[in-house]
Amino acid sequence: MRYAQDHKAQTHQRILKEASARFRRDGIGATGLQPLMKALRLTHGGFYAHFKSKDDLVEKALRVAADEATAHSEKAFASHNALLAFIDLYLSTEHRNSPEKGCPLPTMSAELGQRGVPSLITDELLQGRLESLEKALPGPNASEESIVMLSTLVGALVMSRSAQDPELSERILSTAREWMKRQVNEA
């Protein structure tokens, strides 16, 4: 059976998309190559026709996740009340319930740091979020406030995802969201 000329490129993109979603949902360590490839109806051995190693896949899949997160945040920051819209988007029930579609920072930050694999994309993603927040924040302390804000956003999302009690999970999101919006409105 002959494949289309772009078959390998399409397969490569399918692997990246699936890996990106699984890494954000389950974490890097919990995502095995064999189950990943099986889910795509591909062989484990075929993986190496596309990537040098799992670390190579992680770096490229993180790029996919970062690009998706950037597109979502740019949409929020393009609105009239950009910062408030971003807070609502980031600390939403949908974002909590769909980690495979969301920001990779809550799931992968600690794990990437522990793996000892340098990831320029993680730094780019952090810098990009901090710069977006800093531009949206008024005042001379915007640089420091952006760090506190991003830390609060990521931390609240991690905590809400880890809570087994749905009411507690929602309370974490809504409390952090409303507190942050009050801080923005008072500034």
The token pair that represents 54 in the structure block: 């799992």
Q: Which amino acid is at 91?
A: L
| C-alpha separations of 147 from 54, 69, 89, 180 in Å | 31, 18, 18, 13
User: Which pLDDT band, with edges at 50, 70 and 90, does 164 fall under?
Assistant: very high
The residues near 169 (Cβ < 8 Å, ≥ 6 apart) are 96, 160, 161, 163
Using CA atoms of 179, 88, 136, 186 in order, give the dihedral in degrees to the nearest 10. -30
Higher-pLDDT residue of 35 and 121 is 35
Over residues 134-149, mean pLDDT: 90
User: Which pLDDT band, with edges at 50, 70 and 90, does 125 fall under?
Assistant: confident
CB atoms < 10 A from the CB of 58, how many?
A: 23
Q: Does the pLDDT value for residue 118 go beyond 60?
A: no
For 68-108, how does the pLDDT look when each residue is reduced to its tens digit (9 = 90+)?
888 877 877 777 788 998 999 999 999 999 999 989 889 88
Determine whether domain 7-186 maps to CATH 1.10.357.10.
Answer: yes
Rounded to whole angstroms, how far apart are CA atoms 73 and 128? 10
Could you give the percent of the chain with pLDDT greater than 90?
A: 48
